[in-house]
Chains A and B, each alone.
Chain A
C-alpha cells in the first residue's frame, strides 16, 4: 500500500513533534487561546490605556506585529493566522446556538455567496483606515477587534457553513490571497486512496470542510483556512500539510473544489485586483507626496475636503487606473491569442493572477518595513503595561525600537519587491505558455512572449512604481485635523 503512495518530500504532518501536535484534536484551540488572550489585552489597552499609538499595546501589536508576522508566515509557511484565528473561538458558541435553536440556520443567500461582501468591506476598510488614521488610534483599533468578534459571531450564528470566513472576513481574504504564493498546502497524500473512499468524510462528515473544499478536488490555498478539520475528518489519514513550489498554483486554471475556475469568477478577479493595487495605495498613503497631492486637490475643490480628496485618490488608484491597465493588458493579450479566444474578462481573470506575487511583495515590503523599524517597541510597551497593572517593577526600556539597522530597510524592502516581480514575470510566462499548449508552431517561444508581453510590461511598470514609493522617506500625517487645523 505504501508503494502506491507518492512520497511527498515535505509533509509537516509527518514531522516528529510538529506533526503530532497538529494532528492533536485540540491543536487549533491550543493555538487560538493565546491569540484570544492577546485580543483581550489589545481591547483592554486600546480602550483604557494611553491614547498614544507608539505606547499602546493595541496599536503596536496590531499594526506592527500582527501585520508583519502575518505576511512573514504567508511567505515561509501558509495561512497560519486563520489557523490560529481567535475570532473563530466564540464562533463555536455561535455554531452551537445555530444548530440548537435554528435548525442549523439558513444557507448563505445566493447573491452574496461569493466575494462581493468581502470586496466591499475591504475597500471600505482601506478607505476608513486612511481617512480616520486608524493606525494612530488605540481606541479605534480596539473597536475594530471587538467588531470582528461581533460580526463573526452574528454571521456564523445565522448562516450555515463558514460564511464569515468565506464571504465576509477581510483579513481572511487577505490571507487567502497571500497564501496563493505560500510554500505549504493542505492536500491529499494519495489520490488513489480517495478514489476508493466511500464515505468522503472530509466533506460530508461532521468535521468536513466548512468552506466546501472537497479534498480530492481541492486545488491550492484559496479559501483554505488551514483549520485542520479535514485532517481529523479523514479516516484514512490521507491528508497532509504538504510542500509545493511557491506561486505555482497561479500558473494553471483547473476547476477548484468550492471555487470553480479562477478565470470564470469575476468577483474573485475583483478581490485579487483590489488586494494587488491597494498594496500600492496603502504604501503611497504614508509618504510625503500624498499630502501634497491631497492639498492640491483641496485647492481645486476650493478648500480642504479630506473625504473627497481621499475618495478621488482611491477612485483613481483603485478603480480607474487598475481598470484601464487591466483592460489594456487583457485586450493586447487577447489580440495575440489563437482561436477560440475567450472573452476579455476571462483573459483578465486568467492573467491577473500573474500579478499576485508582485502585489504580495509590495505588502511584504511595506509591512516588513514597519515590523523591522519598530518590532522591539513591543518590549517597553509590554513592560509599561505590566508596570501599570502592578506586575512589573523594573525599568521600562523605551530606548528599544528597530530590529535592523536603518540602512538595511530599503534593501530589504526592495528585495521583497524584486522577488515579487520575479515571481510575477515567471507566472505571466507560465500562464501564457499553458494557454498556448497544443500549438505547434516553430516560433512558440516567441509567441509565448508576445502573449505575456502586456503583463510583463505591466509588472515592470508596477515594480518601478513600487520602488519609487518605497524609496521615499515615510511621513505619516493626518491626525491633527481636529487639533491644529
Chain B
C-alpha cells in the first residue's frame, strides 16, 4: 500500500504543488479512493529528464482564434535536430467544456515540424506534444500558450 500511496503523492498533485508533501487528511482520502479504483487514472507530468529540447512557436504570434500554425522544434541531448519523430499534438483549454484540438503535421525538416491547429476559443491553452522517436522512445511536453481574440 505504501508505495502506491507514494505514487499517488507524485501523480495526484495539482498545478504548482509539485514538491508539497501530502497532509495527513489527504492521505486518508487518497487511501480511500485507492481502495476503490486503483492507480490507472494517474498521469505523471513531472519535469522531463530526457535531455531533449522540445519547443514550440505559434504563427501568427501571439496566436489568434481560428486556424493557426505551430512550429515545433525537436533537438536531441547533443543539440542535433531530430526530424524523423512521429509527432502527436493536442491542444486543450485550461477550463472545462471545450473539446481538444488535434494538430495535423504538414511538414517536417531539420528538426522543425509545422503543425496546423485550430484555436477554437480565446484564452489559455495547454498544448500536449508527444514525439515518438525512431527507436520508440517518447518525448512528451505540456506547453502553455495564450490565444487572443482577434
Residue of B nearest to A406 (CB): B120
Contact of B13 among A40, A51, A133, A477 (CB under 8 A): A51
In the complex, whether A363 has a CB less than 8 A from a CB of chain B is no
**Chain B residues in 8 Å Cβ range of A480:** 124, 144, 146
What is the predominant secondary structure among interface residues of chain B facing chain A?
loop
Residue of A nearest to B33 (CB): A44
Q: A60-B97, A390-B38 are in contact. List 10 more A-B contacts (CB 8 A).
A: A47-B29, A47-B33, A51-B45, A56-B96, A137-B15, A288-B122, A380-B99, A473-B122, A473-B149, A479-B15
Give CA–CA (A390, B39) in the complex, Å.
10
In the complex, whether B19 has a CB less than 8 A from a CB of chain A is no
**Chain A residues in 8 Å Cβ range of B16:** 482
Mask of B108-150 contacts with A, CB within 8 angstroms, 1/0: 0000000000000111101000000000000000001010110
Whether the pair B95, A475 counts as a contact (CB closer than 8 A) is: no
In the complex, whether A140 has a CB less than 8 A from a CB of chain B is yes
In the complex, whether A401 has a CB less than 8 A from a CB of chain B is yes
In the complex, whether A236 has a CB less than 8 A from a CB of chain B is no
Whether the pair A475, B122 counts as a contact (CB closer than 8 A) is: yes
Q: Which residues of B contact A (CB under 8 A)?
A: 8, 11-17, 26, 29-30, 33, 36-43, 45, 65, 92-100, 121-124, 126, 144, 146, 148-149
Whether the pair A398, B29 counts as a contact (CB closer than 8 A) is: no
Give CA–CA (A128, B12) in the complex, Å.
22
Least Cβ distance of A291 to chain B in Å?
Answer: 9
Whether the pair A48, B15 counts as a contact (CB closer than 8 A) is: no
Whether the pair B14, A45 counts as a contact (CB closer than 8 A) is: no
Residue of B nearest to A384 (CB): B41
- The number of chain A residues with a CB under 8 A from chain B is 51
Mask of A124-165 contacts with B, CB within 8 angstroms, 1/0: 000000000101111110000010000000000000000000
Whether the pair B29, A401 counts as a contact (CB closer than 8 A) is: no
Contact of A474 among B13, B37, B40, B122 (CB under 8 A): B122
Mask of A47-80 contacts with B, CB within 8 angstroms, 1/0: 1111111111001100110000000000000000
Q: Which residues of A contact B (CB under 8 A)?
A: 40, 43-45, 47-56, 59-60, 63-64, 133, 135-140, 146, 288, 370, 373-374, 377, 380, 385, 388-390, 398-401, 473-480, 482-484
Whether the pair B99, A400 counts as a contact (CB closer than 8 A) is: yes
Whether the pair B123, A389 counts as a contact (CB closer than 8 A) is: no
Whether the pair B40, A390 counts as a contact (CB closer than 8 A) is: yes
Whether the pair A139, B122 counts as a contact (CB closer than 8 A) is: no
**Chain B residues in 8 Å Cβ range of A473:** 65, 121-122, 149
Give CA–CA (A80, B122) in the complex, Å.
34
**Chain B residues in 8 Å Cβ range of A474:** 121-123
**Chain B residues in 8 Å Cβ range of A51:** 13-15, 43, 45
Given contact pairs A43-B29, A473-B65, A136 touches B94 in the complex (Cβ within 8 A): yes
Least Cβ distance of B116 to chain A in Å?
Answer: 17
> Can you report 16 residue pairs joining A to B where beta carbons are below 8 Å apart?
A44-B33, A48-B41, A49-B42, A54-B98, A135-B95, A136-B15, A288-B148, A374-B99, A389-B40, A389-B41, A401-B97, A473-B65, A474-B123, A475-B122, A476-B95, A476-B123
**Chain A residues in 8 Å Cβ range of B41:** 44-45, 48-50, 385, 388-389
Whether the pair A482, B29 counts as a contact (CB closer than 8 A) is: no
Least Cβ distance of A285 to chain B in Å?
Answer: 12
Whether the pair B126, A477 counts as a contact (CB closer than 8 A) is: no
Whether the pair A139, B17 counts as a contact (CB closer than 8 A) is: yes
Give CA–CA (A484, B15) in the complex, Å.
13
Whether the pair A479, B98 counts as a contact (CB closer than 8 A) is: no
Least Cβ distance of B128 to chain A in Å?
Answer: 8
Most buried by B among A59, A135, A288, A479: A479
Least Cβ distance of B41 to chain A in Å?
Answer: 4
Residue of B nearest to A61 (CB): B96
Give CA–CA (A97, B148) in the complex, Å.
54
Given contact pairs A48-B11, A473-B121, A374 touches B97 in the complex (Cβ within 8 A): yes
Least Cβ distance of B149 to chain A in Å?
Answer: 5
Least Cβ distance of B34 to chain A in Å?
Answer: 8
Given contact pairs A138-B14, A388-B40, A53 touches B93 in the complex (Cβ within 8 A): yes
Most buried by B among A146, A288, A388: A388
Whether the pair A476, B124 counts as a contact (CB closer than 8 A) is: yes
Given contact pairs A43-B33, A133-B94, A479-B124, A54 touches B144 in the complex (Cβ within 8 A): no
Contact of B123 among A55, A59, A477 (CB under 8 A): A477
